[in-house]
Every structure is written in C-alpha cells, then in structure tokens.
Amino acid sequence: MSDSEEHHFESKADAGASKTYPQQAGTIRKNGYIVIKNRPCKVVEVSTSKTGKHGHAKCHFVGIDIFTAKKLEDIVPSSHNCDVPHVNRTDYQLIDISEDGFVSLLTENGNTKDDLKLPTDDNLLTQIKDGFAEGKDLVVSVMSAMGEEQICALKDIGPK
C-alpha cells in the first residue's frame, strides 16, 4: 500500500462489538444493568442467599426491562458470570413528527435520524406532542442497548 491511498471508514465505533459483557453475579448492584431472559434490565432489587453445606451463594435479581418496563426475575449463583448490556444514552434535537408515529431527529454531526418511533409511555408521548405543537425546541434522550433504541426522556431548551 502506498502512502497516497487513504481509507475512510464510517463507523459508530462498535466495530461489531458484543451487545453485552460478562460480570460476576455477586458484583452486580442495585441500579446497575443485567440481561434477564435476553432483555436488558435495570436492577431494582438484589438479595444474596447463603447456602447449605456444599452449595453456592445465590443472587436473586429483580429487574425492570428498560424498554418495556416489565418486571423480570432471575436467580444466579454469585460466582457465575451474568451478561450486562452496554447501555448508551444519546441526546438528539427533535425536528419533526411524522403522521405514522416516527420522529425525525438531528444528530450531532448534522445528519437526520428517522428510524425511531414515538415512545409508548403516554405521559412522555403527550409531553413530546404538546411541546412540538407549541413550537418549542425539544431535545429527546434516546436509550440504546442490545440493538434496540427508544426515547426515554425529554428536555425543553426554550422557544425556537
């Protein structure tokens, strides 16, 4: 390869990276994240049970799915590894809401992101629709984990 050849790679810096990483069950704490039944969850309760003569201590996790808000539970020996999802939050400016329930968002580099649906949470949904109808500049927080994305919060940065 000569020096005059330049290669440009466009990437989101995940380079095919895993959607989860292993962490020992005994080290996962409340308000952390864990994968339960292949769903990314926020841990709301952890209890560790002492065991009998030859068993392992077990961790009982209660988690809430970060996308569907369903409660899930799992029991794992504390010495075993659990999957922990890579969870990212990104803020985007809201440009438009289409008729079919999709939002148009402005990314940091000036491109638009048009593949996200409006949230299913009624409270957040009405806040977004009302704020947009009033012509306010809205910034939405998008949470992404394990290949899924969803709008999870809203900030008002003032009138346009």
| pLDDT over threshold 80, residue 158 | no
The domains located in the chain, with CATH, are 20-85 (2.30.30.30), 87-156 (2.40.50.140)
Residue 17, pLDDT score: 63
Q: What is the mean pLDDT of residues 81-95?
A: 91
User: Greater confidence, 11 or 52?
Assistant: 52
pLDDT band at 5 (very low <50, low <70, confident <90, very high): low
Chain centre to alpha carbon of residue 138: 20
State pLDDT tens for residues 97-156: 888 888 888 888 888 888 888 887 788 888 888 888 888 888 889 899 988 899 888 887
The pLDDT of residue 160 is 52
